[in-house]
Amino acid sequence: MPLAFAEPTDHAIPVHVVESDGLDAILAGLPDHQAVWAKAQGFHASLGQIVLLPDANGAIEGVLVGFGDISKRARGRFHIGAVAAKLPVGDYVIASGLTGDALEEAALAWLLAGYSYDRYSGPAAPIAGLVAPVGVDANRLQIIANGEALTRELIDTPASDMGPDELEEAARTLASEHAAKINVITGDDLIMANFPMIHTVGRASTRAPRLIDLRWGHKGPQLTLVGKGVCFDTGGLNIKPGGSMGLMKKDMGGAATVMGLAHMIMALDLPLRLRVLIPAVENSISGNAFRPQDILTSRKGLTVEINNTDAEGRLVLADALTLSDEDDPDLVISMATLTGAARVAVGPDIAPFYTDCDAHAQAVSAAAAKVADPVWRMPFHTPYETMIEPGIADLDNAPKGGFAGSITAALFLRRFVESPYMHFDIYGWQPSTRPARPKGGVGMGARAVLAALPKMLDL
């Protein structure tokens, strides 16, 4: 079911969000019996605390939700999403306590709290509904929430049911929904079409590699999104240990994230031309798997020495990025679950990104803070270019030494793009349940990019 606000009704139960220092004023404004009840329940407006206010007959007449103080709220986000899951089923409306960006974040959090992955377990129990608060763009928030839900669902689906062919099917469904054009090059046709590295990485799998190419829009600046679609990553001949392979169904998180973002852009009918490129492969092992020390020639003509077959994502992205450049887009953005080094640097909750354009970086960072989608700019540190130059070929896909792994991967990708370029090295996974974000697949950076597009592309 799509994530949506409840229909407006006169019977929606008012929710009053109360900061710690506003508790006395709220209690003073309640009927005596409700104020006494709230005090008896030990309500101190602590972050996430809830008290149901009864009417004279004992039915729920209102809800007080604790919002704590700024020091507590700053340690997380989407706090109201946790409230949505705790309330009795019914329709509610945020009646007081939040305005502006905080109200918009709360409304989005409530919508996202309604997401659950139930493909194999049956429908989850319904949660409380929210009537769209006055002052927010309800349609926009619903579109954003459903774009995020698409990303989560694609990542959450195990590789047995989300291989390159199923990822293509999802892209075709997305294209059909928005009247977009789609073209897919599959299997050995990739060789004929000059996508050698996509083919090489995916050829060992029984599930054929492919390049998915979606186009939408006829006017305005062109934005090209490139998403890593490694539907499962064994590591290839440099096989991962079991502990590292356990989450590899999420290695197509970049593809899932750009598809969610593409849904947002198309559903909002932004005045731009959109292209989405997804190299979809499975990095498997068989007699024709590519090997360490192989040298591959890319679509761009640059040669790449393979020093680790587990650094395959940058290979498939390189061919797709080369293609993205060929029709002179105004901006190229790649998203990929690319390196463990990025997680060591910033952890699972922050999306590090790279760009040479200070104005673009400022736009994304400002937007990220506004929409509660944390990002952090990392440097395209040019002096490290020598680390990705092995001597025997133009590029090294896995520099030795272990230093600056996320930066060297980003520098590798930059070699294949001449257009204005931004790269996100995302995680795509929520390790433990948080408000509005259950454990599992999660979008990172997409909402920040969406909010920054008007400035980056002069929309």
Co-location of 210 and 131 in the same domain: no
Establish if 178 belongs to a structural domain.
Answer: yes
Mind listing the pLDDT tens digit for each residue in 84-93? Answer: 989 999 999 9
Closest CA to 427 of 446, 444, 404, 448: 444
Beta-carbon contacts of 158 under 8 Å, excluding residues fewer than 6 positions away, are: 249
CATH number at residue 117: 3.40.220.10
| Catalytic choice (273, 314, 415, 437) | 314
Co-location of 108 and 154 in the same domain: no
Closest CA to 224 of 358, 366, 377, 422: 422
The span from the CA of 332 to the CA of 288, in Å, is 33
Note the pLDDT of residue 125.
85
Note the pLDDT of residue 123.
86
Establish if 61 belongs to a structural domain.
Answer: yes
Asked if residue 1 has pLDDT above 80, the reply is no
- Can you name the residues that pair with 232 across neighbouring β-strands? 282
Of 108, 136, 164, the position where a domain reaches its end is 136
Half-sphere exposure for 222 (CA within 13 Å, toward CB): 17
Of 110, 136, 162, the position where a domain reaches its end is 136
Query: Are 267 and 167 in contact, with CB atoms under 8 Å apart?
Result: no
Query: Are 267 and 147 in contact, with CB atoms under 8 Å apart?
Result: yes
| Catalytic choice (172, 240, 377, 455) | 240
Asked if residue 60 has pLDDT above 90, the reply is yes
Mind listing the pLDDT tens digit for each residue in 315-356? Answer: 999 999 999 999 999 999 999 999 999 999 999 999 999 999
Co-location of 297 and 180 in the same domain: yes
- Can you name the residues that pair with 130 across neighbouring β-strands? 92
Instruction: Show the tokens assigned to 235.
Output: 């590591």
Note the pLDDT of residue 154.
98
Query: Using 50, 70 and 90 to split pLDDT, how confident is the model at 304?
Result: very high
The span from the CA of 346 to the CA of 62, in Å, is 40
- Can you name the residues that pair with 441 across neighbouring β-strands? 429
Establish if 173 belongs to a structural domain.
Answer: yes
Query: In the chain, pLDDT over 90 holds for what percent of residues?
Result: 96
Asked if residue 33 has pLDDT above 80, the reply is yes
Co-location of 176 and 257 in the same domain: yes
Establish if 181 belongs to a structural domain.
Answer: yes
Query: Are 14 and 95 in contact, with CB atoms under 8 Å apart?
Result: yes
Co-location of 255 and 292 in the same domain: yes
String of DSSP letters for 68-100: E-HHHHTT-S-HHHHHHHHSPSSEEEEEES--H
Establish if 6 belongs to a structural domain.
Answer: no
The terminus-to-terminus CA distance of the chain in angstroms comes to 32
Query: In the chain, pLDDT over 70 holds for what percent of residues?
Result: 100
Establish if 2 belongs to a structural domain.
Answer: no
Establish if 7 belongs to a structural domain.
Answer: no
Using only C-alpha atoms, the chain has a radius of gyration, in whole angstroms, of: 24
CATH number at residue 184: 3.40.630.10
Co-location of 146 and 132 in the same domain: no
Co-location of 119 and 147 in the same domain: no
Mind listing the pLDDT tens digit for each residue in 143-179? Answer: 999 999 999 999 999 999 999 999 999 999 999 999 9
Co-location of 284 and 205 in the same domain: yes
Mind listing the pLDDT tens digit for each residue in 354-373? Answer: 999 999 999 999 999 999 99
Asked if residue 105 has pLDDT above 90, the reply is yes
Per the structure, the complete domain to which residue 387 belongs is given by 142-456
Asked if residue 259 has pLDDT above 90, the reply is yes
Co-location of 158 and 261 in the same domain: yes
Establish if 157 belongs to a structural domain.
Answer: yes
Of 102, 136, 170, the position where a domain reaches its end is 136
Amino acid at 28: A
Sign, CA dihedral 214-407-350-433, equals positive
Co-location of 350 and 413 in the same domain: yes
Average pLDDT over residues 262-291: 98
How many domains are contained in the chain? 2
- SS3 state at 102: helix
Does the annotation mark 455 as catalytic?
no
Co-location of 153 and 112 in the same domain: no
The span from the CA of 135 to the CA of 200, in Å, is 52
Mind listing the pLDDT tens digit for each residue in 205-254? Answer: 999 999 999 999 999 999 999 999 999 999 999 999 999 999 999 999 99
Co-location of 191 and 112 in the same domain: no
Asked if residue 23 has pLDDT above 80, the reply is yes
Does the annotation mark 240 as catalytic?
yes
Note the pLDDT of residue 312.
98
Query: Are 174 and 135 in contact, with CB atoms under 8 Å apart?
Result: no
